[in-house]
Chain A
């Protein structure tokens, strides 16, 4: 919070008061943590018996495999929704009104439907089509339907936010509409929207935890639940470990998003000024 300062710089009395409050807050936090530990200990949740399964490396292998399955589903889902999103974005900025309207409807519908509803839907409907799809694909298809719509919208706003000179110049150079989109506008939109895209990846990744309801896909939360089924004393422990796993990966992805955003701002700062009169816009030479 660099720009806002509600308080005058602290004088000596205020400094002492602040120090007191800091120590007080710290004490409250520590006391709270201690209380929590105490209760957990009394109820036996920290006992060796409850944590015994975690001494087995095989268990960690299962959890690791579960986390990997989340990542795999999120990655494949991201790739597929990027493709869908790009196609949708083309449709959304198209000059062909019916196409634009259909894509608009699709985007609005699929970004308003909860992912869980989509998951239930794909798991009930897709098996009837006889395709030998596993639960992995139910999850990925649901993720793609949902995320594709969101990314399509993101890319659309990214394309529209570009300086109109870009499109005009490329059309003047003889590129077709589709070519302009594909070769000039989309790459730039992708670059400028990359922080938002990584955010969407984080949302996708968090969404993979929902596969827990399908029962067929061994992702992390489900693996934790299965551990809890097998070792009924360790349900909470397993869920807690799963939460930690998700937390770590998401924080890493979040750091990636921040780094991308910083890089983007850095690049944007070097972007040339809007085109004036007859001067062509200098193309940034760096990547």
Chain B
């Protein structure tokens, strides 16, 4: 088992990188997803069209394909980031449509009366969104959103395709070097499980906190 100790440092680094991607991905996709969902409600047809087109394309092109195109294709256009940053950006670009779709379902549950009351009280559209609609929408969809994030944790592994030293990439390298696939991959699986469980707990806690606002 000594090889396990030798590689504990690598494993730790892999977990850190994965966690970093998860956090960046979650934050970014919530922001972008909210913007996308909000654009869908706009009276400006082109804005709605752009948002719908974005969701259609970025949801339906597989993540590995997006990752590869972004890392190798975009530099041609002059846009080039480090591998880590690129992986995080692609993760955000890919997960945002799912957040947007989940939010859309939440938006639909907000009662019309709330909006009408808000308008009667003088709230403009941005204020309505920010103070009335979005908080309630988020509260309704905490669990589905949690599922999106757990899926995103799994999707961080795709960064391995472009050489980012995250958990899956490293465990494959170590497993090949040490020829001990079961133990190494088992360890990596446990790490992913742990991360997923933690997120699940967080989501449950948040869900309970916002339960009475529904």
Contacts and interface: CB of A to CB of B under 8 A. Distances in A.
Contacts, number: 152
Interface residues of A, number: 50
B181 A243 contact: no
A192 to B, nearest CB: 18
B60 A254 contact: yes
Contact of B61 (A7, A22, A45, A250): A250
B214 interface: no
Contact of A25 (B46, B68, B104, B196): B46
A247 interface: yes
A40 B73 CA distance: 10
Contact of A8 (B44, B66, B76, B119): B119
Given A113-B154, A125-B182, A209-B62, A239 B73 contact: yes
B13 interface: no
B161 A212 contact: yes
Interface string B192-213: 1100110000000000000000
Contacts of B78: 39
A162 interface: no
A113 B44 contact: no
A30 B56 CA distance: 19
A21 B45 CA distance: 9
A99 interface: no
A109 B189 contact: yes
Contact of B129 (A1, A6, A212, A250): A6
Contacts of A230: none
Contact of A243 (B50, B61, B192): B61
Contacts of B129: 6
Interface string B125-158: 1001100010000000000000000100111111
Contacts of B158: 114, 116, 210
Nearest to B150: A112
Contacts of B77: 36, 39-40
Given A212-B161, A236-B76, A120 B44 contact: no
Given A6-B115, A114-B155, A210-B158, A25 B64 contact: no
A207 B66 CA distance: 13
B37 to A, nearest CB: 9
A114 B192 CA distance: 8
Interface in B165-209: 168, 171-172, 175-176, 181-182, 185, 188-189, 192-193, 196-197
17 contacts: A4-B110, A8-B119, A18-B44, A22-B47, A26-B46, A40-B77, A109-B189, A112-B193, A112-B197, A114-B154, A116-B168, A117-B157, A120-B168, A209-B62, A209-B63, A250-B59, A254-B59
Interface of B: 40-41, 43-47, 50, 56-57, 59-66, 68-69, 72-73, 76-78, 104, 107-108, 110, 112, 115, 119, 125, 128-129, 133, 150, 153-158, 160-161, 168, 171-172, 175-176, 181-182, 185, 188-189, 192-193, 196-197
